[in-house]
């Protein structure tokens, strides 16, 4: 496969944000992703109903917020261009049968066609190959450098620079495929390594990152529930989130819900199948909402949903190895892991790689 300037493994929002800016700076960038489409955990499932109508459900990221100037410009530009919208200014709460709507005012954005629109918008004009699972990394030449990545499908790609935008455990799995003599593969042991410079220290920090899992369900309804809210945060042992997905969509969208289980329940039920968890998730939803007239359902397990323990700094860049990584598990700002932190991490890494910061 022909050489690129930069290969990015992982076309989630962090990798796309990086690639967008690196390409704009004149680098030849190729993104690789194992999924069928881009956008990673900012994911939308399309469900075709028996009557031919289509429901779009955000079973990963539910919405996004924009605190930084750059993210606000992206979000508000999207509202002006029509691919984005302010979905809600507040979320209702449910506690022991009582629903309250606290005063709010903070815009939560959700594209009317689904959260994956964010990734597809950032990917416009970029060279993206989907449906390829990267299984190993290779340093091409100890002196002249260069990287080769191999995929499960038997393909490989070469580039001078390698960027990894993956959840930390998946990053570590790939780094472990490098020659053990590589500095990126063999982080020094001991607490001092946490503060060490370079890729060995950064890989050590990635080892400390942990994730909350999340079981998500999509529920297509024959009739909408009786409610005056778009999003509900229940205080419940099984569910932490219910969204009336059609309130994000254009008028006439079929009624549907997304349900997200709490981290504790998701962890306790992580190895069950979708068929096994669905009855429990639906029973919890009915406890909160009353009887549901359900037409179709699906469940999706996010093993690495939200980082619970993050890594310091906005991203990692090793100019000696031409190797970097980014993603929502870094801390480019103090507001926690989310869509915006993935974007900020990718944009910061692009500035480091292109020498503009």
- Dihedral over alpha carbons 138, 142, 144, 147 (to 10 degrees): 10
- Contacts to ligand FAD by CB under 6 A: 9-15, 32-35, 40-42, 60-64, 133-134, 165-167, 170, 214, 216, 260, 302, 305-306, 327-328, 337-339, 342
Distances (CA, A) of 92 to 105, 131, 286: 13, 38, 17
Q: How far is the CB of 31 from ligand FAD (least distance, A)?
A: 9
Q: Which is nearer to ligand FAD, 40 or 107 (CB)?
A: 40
Cα separation, 27 vs 10, whole angstroms: 18
Q: How far is the CB of 214 from ligand FAD (least distance, A)?
A: 4
Q: Which is nearer to ligand FAD, 49 or 270 (CB)?
A: 270
Q: How far is the CB of 286 from ligand FAD (least distance, A)?
A: 21
Q: How far is the CB of 149 from ligand FAD (least distance, A)?
A: 8
With H, G, I as helix, E, B as strand and everything else as coil, classify residue 280. helix
Where on the phi/psi map is residue 200: left (φ > 0), alpha (ψ -120 to 50), or beta?
alpha
Q: Which is nearer to ligand FAD, 176 or 192 (CB)?
A: 176
Q: How far is the CB of 58 from ligand FAD (least distance, A)?
A: 8
Q: Which is nearer to ligand FAD, 222 or 303 (CB)?
A: 303
To which H or E segment does residue 175 belong? helix 168-175
Q: What count of residues does the chain have?
A: 357
Q: Which is nearer to ligand FAD, 33 or 245 (CB)?
A: 33
Q: Given the structure tokens 């979000």, which residue do they identify?
A: 75
Q: How far is the CB of 154 from ligand FAD (least distance, A)?
A: 14
Q: Which is nearer to ligand FAD, 35 or 196 (CB)?
A: 35
Concatenate the DSSP letters of all residues of 65-119 into one string: ---SHHHHHHHHHHHHHTS--EEES--EEEETTEEE-------EE--TT-THHHH
């Amino acid at each position: 496969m022909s050489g690129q300037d930069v290969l990015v493994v992982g076309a989630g929002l962090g990798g796309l944000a990086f690639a967008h800016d690196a390409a704009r700076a004149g680098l030849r960038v190729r993104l690789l992703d194992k999924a069928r489409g881009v956008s990673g955990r900012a994911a939308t499932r399309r469900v075709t109903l028996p009557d031919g109508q289509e429901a779009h459900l955000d079973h990963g990221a539910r919405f996004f917020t924009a605190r930084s100037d750059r993210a606000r410009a992206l979000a508000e530009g999207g509202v002006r261009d029509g691919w984005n919208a302010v979905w809600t200014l507040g979320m209702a709460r449910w506690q022991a049968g009582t629903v309250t709507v606290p005063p709010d005012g903070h815009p939560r954005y959700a594209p009317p066609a689904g959260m994956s629109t964010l990734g597809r918008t950032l990917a416009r004009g970029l060279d993206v190959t989907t449906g390829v699972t990267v299984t190993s990394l290779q340093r091409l030449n100890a002196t002249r450098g260069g990287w080769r990545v191999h995929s499960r499908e038997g393909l490989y790609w070469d580039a001078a620079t390698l960027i990894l935008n993956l959840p930390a455990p998946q990053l570590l799995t790939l780094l472990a495929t490098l020659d053990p003599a590589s500095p990126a593969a063999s982080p020094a042991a001991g607490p001092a390594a946490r503060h060490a410079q370079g890729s060995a220290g950064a890989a050590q920090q990635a080892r400390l990152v942990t994730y909350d899992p999340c079981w998500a369900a999509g529920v297509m309804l024959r009739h909408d529930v009786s409610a005056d809210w778009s999003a509900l945060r229940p205080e419940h042992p099984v569910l932490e989130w219910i969204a009336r997905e059609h309130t994000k969509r254009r008028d006439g969208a079929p009624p549907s819900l997304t349900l997200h289980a709490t981290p504790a329940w998701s962890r306790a039920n992580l190895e069950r199948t979708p068929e096994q968890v669905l009855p429990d998730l639906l029973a919890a939803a009915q406890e909160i909402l009353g009887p549901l007239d359900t037409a179709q359902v699906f469940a999706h397990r996010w093993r690495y949903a939200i980082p619970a323990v993050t890594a310091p700094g906005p991203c990692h860049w090793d100019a000696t190895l031409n190797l970097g990584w980014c993603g929502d598990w870094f801390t480019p700002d103090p507001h926690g892991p989310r869509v915006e932190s993935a974007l900020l991490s990718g944009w910061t890494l692009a500035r480091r790689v292109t020498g503009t910061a």
